Amino acid sequence: MSSECKACGAQVTDEATTCPSCGAALAAKMKLLPLAAFMLIVILIIQSYITKDEAGSATVEPAAPASSAEQ
């Protein structure tokens, strides 16, 4: 697959770092997979802290047993 040079408009392969026609530097394409993996890990860590806090603060105290005099 090829792309187009922003400076001169010549066709450039994706592996090239400079344009073979004019010598202009080509912008490096950002890899999406490492960024997506990092964001997934961050989201999972945040979610684990949120669920841990909710489970710890929502303790239910047992009701006092009814005495036989109240029945």
Give DSSP secondary structure letters for 15-51: T-SB-TTT-PBPPPPPPHHHHHHHHHHHHHHHHHHHH
Block residue for tokens 């989201």: 43
Per-residue pLDDT of the chain (71 residues; tens, 9 = 90+): 678 888 898 999 888 889 999 999 988 777 888 899 999 999 999 999 888 766 555 556 666 776 666 55
pTM of the predicted model, to two decimals?
0.40
- In sequence order, what are the residues at sequence separation of 6 or more whose Cβ sits closer than 8 angstroms to the Cβ of residue 20? 10, 12
- Report yes or no on 69 lying in a domain: no
| Inside any domain, residue 70 | no
Q: How far is CA 31 from CA 12, 21, 26, 38, in A?
A: 19, 26, 15, 12
Evaluate whether residue 71 is within a structural domain: no
Any domain includes 61: no
Residue 67 belongs to some domain of the structure = no
